[in-house]
A and B are shown apart, each in its own frame.
Chain A
Amino acid sequence: MDPFQIVTFSLGRESYGIPIERVREIIRPTPITLIPHTPPYVLGLLNLRGNVIPVIDLRLRLHITPEGEAKNNRIIVVDIDGVVVGMMVDAVSAVMTVQEDMLTDTPDMLCEIDDEFINKVIKTDRRLTVLLNLQAMVYPKAG
């Protein structure tokens, strides 16, 4: 496996990451229009330079209590196989290069979120970063 790059961000006290090629852009929160009759983690719709895109709160989605200051909050706009979604996170940290030997499978009971949301866990000297399964963020289990 070739090394690949991920964008890391924080949710609560944990570190998460998604492959960089999925990330369209990272923006500061702008006014969001609520969509009635949707689950609570769906924050609503925002205007991204003339395009209407839905935004989910990744913390609510994963049942994580937000941490840190609201001014650091960011919306990461990702492309999940052609479906564009904004994901609100506590703060965006950095871009990191992942080598094959850094990848491990999910250690049991290590993090607070469900297995279905986790693709792999990336281990460095300093911390563990969960590589998110983006598909599971928006599609139910069957997808």
Chain B
Amino acid sequence: MSGDNFMDEYMDLFYSEAKEQLDILSRDLLSIESGASNQEMIHEMFRAAHTLKGASAMVGLNNVTEITHKVEDLLGKVREGERVLGAKDIDTIFSALDFIQTSIFEPDGIDPAKMAELSAALETAMKQPAEQPVVPDTAERIEEARQRISALSQKVTEIQAVFTPDCFMKSVRAFLLTNNLKEFGEVLETVPTWQELEQNETAYGEVIIFFEWQRGSRDELERALNITDIQTVTIQKAVSRSVPEESHSEGQPAKEQDHAQEQQPQTERQQAHRPESTPVQPHHPETAEAKGAEYIKIEAKRLDLLMNLIGELLISQARFSRLQETYVEEHGHTPFAIEMAEETHQLSRVTTQLQDGLMKARMMPIGGVFSRYPRIVRDLAKKENKKITLVMEGQDTEMDKSVLDLIGDPLMHLIRNAVDHGIETPEERIQAGKPEEGTVRLRATHEGSRIVIQVADDGKGIDEQKVLAKARKLGLVRDDQSLSRQEIFDLLFAPGFSTAEKVTDVSGRGVGMDVVKRAISGLNGIIETQSEVGQGTTFSLQLPITLAIIQGLLVKVEGETMIIPLDNVLESFQLREGEVESIGGKEVFTVRGRVVPLLRLQSAMQIPRDSEKMRRKYRSVVMVGLAERRLGLEVDALLGKKEIVIKAIHAPWLNLDKFAGATILGDGRVSLILNIGSLFRRGEINRGD
């Protein structure tokens, strides 16, 4: 290998690595910006920045190394809990990411002034906590407010809300709290104020709300105050902590009685001073339970654990069924065998129900993912001087949480793409006789066991000729090759492909359509593209509702057992030797007038052949389909249909594109699940026409 080649390969590696890390950074930063605070995200961002720093230093991109280093430092402080990311920090990091992006992918576009500015901004952000006053002492102010307010009204309730240590956007949480309280009465004052919280996020660990409680029960109030990132909420009557003078308490003898039921126990000193106060129970467990049973907030991790356990149970049950079958084979249908069969059947029924039940518990509406897009579309449209409405439909369509967690980014890329490349400027639209304002439509619907999400724009559409020309220039397509419409659209998802004549700020955030493709394939999903020049483009994503369990067809290939997802299986049949023909050296067969390529799974998977094997009269073929394409897979035997618990193979260092995961069979052995999409991608498979 020549030095140049080595360097090229090296740079390729670096580019893909950099892209991946930048993706992680942007994604997490956006989630943090949209209010999802999570310590793990900070860790992940820190690791990504660290990796990127190391990688860029190795290829000698000093600008990138320097800026990344500063980002890493800043994130390090956040990770150590020394500070919290404020809105301004997030903006700074975003600009840093943009800069890194430019430096890596379009080094000509580097602006030294911008770099200095950015560098300074990051340093300022780093130093900030030191300049900030150490947690302002609010105790005095709270006491002052307590005295002042309780003098005004008899029915003041004091609510203390403690933030979780890693809570971001505390001001937003405080705002939500006060907003929710409006249903129950009037918010009189908060310490610190909303503005103070916004300006100095890190300084406060809690907020005290003084509130005049007019309606609603304590349970309802507690539920309204159950907000993410609020660790504890204490509701009590606002009572001055300082020892009141006798005259004061005499002046308000009945002070405690009104809301006595809602009180937390007072300190002994206070009780002693107010002998007239009703003794109060700390809580009312019976009522709290009765009403609280309607909804329970559960940490997602616990559900994941349960899901894993049910997966184990399914596998165990499969092994048990196998044992029972073996017993019957050896001993026949003895009374014991019959009893065992009944129990096995019962066990499988209960397991299935259990699995269904938990699946339902993991379902969440897609609306949560959608909710961050309007803001993004608005900002982008503004930046590009376009007028765009985002219409969202089907927000309550439910999907498994694990799928939901992974579709946010690919969808965002598609939406950005629609805004950036799809919708034209108002002038262009008027010229084309379209309404000035463009529309991006985001729509989720159920289709059988899958979810279809569409991102549609009414923009300029995809110019096939332009795409093809570009692909030829990039060497993705040979000059003499003619492609179908769908194949041309598929080119959009090829790595490194971008038809934008200028790289805009939007695409500058470094997310190509190949990233979308990879993410969707990773979810065992399918992307379909429809486009008409002048009328717009629609990307349809077909996704499984859940990733955890699928129906699979078990097949035998040489000594190996493999699984074909039943979603992809159209039919299976036995072909006689005479029914297989050859076109251009490739085997094909005919089904109802349609010519379908035939692929030996053994050779496609490069499994060594057993030369001892007898040649058979018939060939077992499973016909699989993906969109409009068909392919016959030759296998040695069909072993049957089974419920498959998908186990992720966590091996980023291996290229496992050809598999959708693995599972554990009844005999305890691991078996691979084929990714049918990858078989269609192989060069030698032609379209079935």
Contact = CB atoms under 8 A, between A and B. Distances in A.
Given A35-B672, A142-B13, A51 B647 contact: yes
B14 A142 contact: yes
B650 A83 contact: yes
Contacts of A53: 650
A33 B669 contact: yes
Contacts of A33: 560, 662, 669-672
Given A37-B606, A37-B655, A50 B55 contact: no
A38 B664 contact: no
Interface string B475-487: 0000000000000
Most buried by B among A44, A52, A138: A52
B17 interface: yes
- Which of B13, B658, B664 has the most chain A CB atoms inside 10 A of its CB? B664
Contact of A54 (B13, B605, B607, B654): B654
Contacts of A32: 670
B295 interface: no
B664 A140 contact: no
Contacts of B606: 36-37
Contacts of A83: 650-653
Given A33-B560, A142-B58, A54 B651 contact: yes
Contact of A45 (B311, B315, B649, B668): B649
Contact of A85 (B10, B308, B651): B651
Interface in B626-649: 647-649
A141 B651 CA distance: 17
A32 B605 CA distance: 16
Interface in A87-143: 138-142
A141 B9 CA distance: 11
Residue among B647, B651, B652 with max Cβ neighbours from chain A (10 Å): B651
Nearest to B559: A34
Contacts of B652: 83
Contact of A140 (B13, B58, B311): B13
B562 to A, nearest CB: 9
Given A38-B655, A83-B653, A142-B55, A50 B312 contact: yes
Interface string A46-65: 11001111100000000000
B656 A35 contact: yes
A44 B270 CA distance: 70
Contacts of A54: 649, 651, 654
Contacts of B560: 33-34
B647 A31 contact: no
Contact of B662 (A31, A52, A140): A52
Nearest to A82: B650
A132 B7 CA distance: 26
A54 B662 CA distance: 11
Given A37-B605, A37-B658, A142-B58, A47 B669 contact: yes
A142 B311 CA distance: 37
B579 to A, nearest CB: 27
A42 B658 CA distance: 15
Interface residues of A, number: 26
B13 A52 contact: no
Given A37-B606, A142-B17, A47 B651 contact: no
Contacts of A139: 653
Contacts of B607: 34, 36
Contacts of B315: 50
A84 interface: yes
A31 B653 contact: no
Contacts of B651: 54, 83, 85, 138
A52 B669 contact: no
A138 B651 CA distance: 9
Contacts of B672: 33, 35-36, 45
Nearest to A140: B13
Contact of B669 (A31, A84, A142): A31
B654 A38 contact: yes
A138 to B, nearest CB: 4
Contact of A47 (B55, B58, B656, B668): B668
A85 B311 CA distance: 22
Nearest to B647: A52
A133 B160 CA distance: 52
Nearest to B668: A47
Interface in B642-688: 647-656, 658-659, 662-664, 668-672
Contact of A52 (B10, B14, B605, B649): B649
Contacts of A42: 654
A84 B308 CA distance: 18
Nearest to A137: B653
Nearest to B55: A142
Contacts of B17: 142
Interface in B492-535: none
B68 to A, nearest CB: 16
A29 to B, nearest CB: 13
A45 B662 contact: yes
Nearest to A31: B669
Contact of A138 (B653, B663, B670): B653
B658 A36 contact: yes
Contacts of A142: 10, 13-14, 17, 55, 58
B63 to A, nearest CB: 19
Contacts of B670: 32-33, 44-47, 52
From B650, B655, B658, residue with most partner A Cβ within 10 Å: B650
Contacts of A37: 605-606, 655, 658
Contacts of B658: 36-37
Nearest to A39: B654
Interface in A11-50: 31-38, 42, 44-47, 50
Contacts of B55: 142
A35 B671 contact: no
A132 to B, nearest CB: 15
A51 B607 CA distance: 24
The 10 closest A-B pairs by CB, nearest first: A36-B605, A138-B653, A33-B670, A45-B670, A52-B647, A142-B13, A52-B662, A54-B651, A50-B312, A47-B664
Given A51-B647, A83-B652, 19 more contacts: A31-B669, A32-B670, A33-B669, A33-B672, A34-B607, A36-B658, A37-B605, A47-B664, A47-B669, A47-B670, A50-B308, A50-B311, A52-B647, A52-B648, A52-B670, A138-B653, A142-B10, A142-B14, A142-B17
28 contacts: A31-B669, A32-B670, A33-B560, A33-B662, A33-B669, A34-B560, A35-B656, A36-B658, A36-B672, A37-B605, A37-B658, A38-B654, A38-B655, A44-B670, A45-B662, A47-B664, A47-B670, A50-B315, A51-B647, A52-B647, A52-B664, A54-B651, A83-B653, A84-B650, A140-B13, A142-B13, A142-B14, A142-B55
Interface of A: 31-38, 42, 44-47, 50-54, 83-85, 138-142
Interface of B: 10, 13-14, 17, 55, 58, 308, 311-312, 315, 560, 605-607, 647-656, 658-659, 662-664, 668-672
